[in-house]
Structure 1
Amino acid sequence: MTKKEQDILIAGKKLFFKYGLKKVTIEEICAEANVSKMTFYKYFPNKTALVKKVFDTLFEARIEIYLKMMRSDIPFSEKMKKILEMKREGSAEISKEYLKDIFKHSGTEFSAFFDQWIQRSMKVAIDSFAEAQQEGYIRKDINPKLLLVWVERMADLLSDERVLDEYESVPDLAEELAKLFLYGICGER
């Protein structure tokens, strides 16, 4: 990847996270990356292609980090704490506008793309939780597919404006949802 392409990716990510996908223009991305529109089009045929590349890169990196951590020898309780840290760090730059665009993408050119990544991310998480269940870290009487549905409902909460309005920042909401998922209402043990 050339430096110019990397600059465009970084600028796109920054602007998408801050303002959402719909509001950001190619001109704004070019200004942030300090490249011409001609340079932008050399690497990306349109904004949709850039959005997809940004998220492919981001999701691949996060899944790799997650799997490496889950396969590590640290105690399971520490893994759960690290998941919370990853959620907070991963959402630190994200705006409410971005979340609304991501989770209310139905009918847009991004629908199939985001649905694919959401399903892939959930499968990775559920597979690792099923493995932890086999190792005795998660109750054996819980169906891992129920966990998948639970995670989907948490994603619904991330796009609910009533919920978003209750939190100062997206990281605060993401961390609270992750704690609720991991520890229930009783807290850490």
Structure 2
Amino acid sequence: MNGFERRKEQKKRKILETALTLFMKYNIRKVSVSEIAKEAQVSQVTIYNYFENKDNLVHEVIIFYVDKIWGEYEQLFNSNIPFPTKVKKIIFDKSEVASHINEEFFEYFMKEYSGEDNYIDKLYMEKALPRFMKLFNEGKEQGFVDPSISNEAILLYIQMFKEFLQRGDVTKNILPITEDLTKLFFFGIAGKNEE
């Protein structure tokens, strides 16, 4: 990548980071392209050159956000910390994010997640699901997940959880109980809450 392409990518990343911050803090509809441009220290024309319109920008921000969160999870999954610590970190992180996210951004995110052939679903199937299964197998090996529970049953449980979260009629109810749902998800599988 030459210097021009590197600067272009850095500028695009700055726009995405700025838009994500503003969208998570405020209502997406209330954040204008001009506000994003001002905060990112670029022109509105630059934003339109990269993203064409605000809808495309919002879509790209969702992808950027998902990739960012997944990168953080991969680091956690690849660490040598014990299973219960990984689970607690996942629960804490989800709870922390949920407490700082604008409800409208979350609804838009869930709408994107519930659509057909979406980026989030693709990442889930190709990367997240296999990595979560590996995490549960680690939990079995370390004695924190009941080894008598088959991987097929765990997969079915994950699929039921995922399909429920993709229902449009539950979106408004999910954000306030993110921590509870995450605890239920993990400790329901483990059968106990190890301190």
After TM superposition, the score normalised by the length of structure 2 is: 0.70
Native 8 Å contact 1:102 1:114 kept in 2: no
Is 1:99–1:159's contact at 8 Å kept on the other side of the alignment?
Answer: no
How far apart in 2 are the matches of 1:137 and 1:158?
Answer: 33
Q: Structure 1: which amino acid aligns with 2:165?
A: A
2:95 to 88, 101, 107: 88
Shift of the alpha carbon at 1:147?
2.9
Name the residue aligned to 2:162: 152
Task: Considering fraction of residues, name the structure with more helix.
Answer: 2
Identify if the C-alpha distance between structure 1 residues 14 and 111 changes in structure 2 by more than 3 Å, giving closer, same or farther. farther
Query: Counterparts of 2:45 and 2:82 in 1: how far apart (Å)?
Result: 51
Specify the SS of the correspondent of 1:184: helix
Work out the CA distance in 2 between the residues paired with 1:129 and 1:64.
Answer: 16
The percent identity for this pair of structures is 27
Closer/same/farther in 2, CA of residues 126 and 146 from structure 1, 3 Å limit: farther
Equivalence for 2:135: 129
Question: Gapped runs of 5+ residues in structure 2?
Answer: 1-5
How many residue pairs are counted as aligned between the two chains?
A: 182
Question: 1:13-53 CA distances to partner (integer Å, 9 max, x unpaired)?
Answer: 02322345556443342244343221212332333443343
CA RMSD of aligned residues (A): 3.5
**Which residue of 62, 67, 70 corresponds with 1:63?**
70
**Paired residue type of 1:79:** K
The one-letter amino acid paired with 2:193 is: E
> CA 1:162 to 1:46, structure 2 compared with 1: closer, same or farther past 3 Å?
closer
Task: Provide the rounded CA distance (Å) in 2 between the counterparts of 1:78 and 1:106.
Answer: 28
Q: In 1, distance between residues paired with 2:186 and 2:180?
A: 10
Question: Gapped runs of 5+ residues in structure 1?
Answer: 165-169
TM-score normalised according to structure 1 size: 0.72
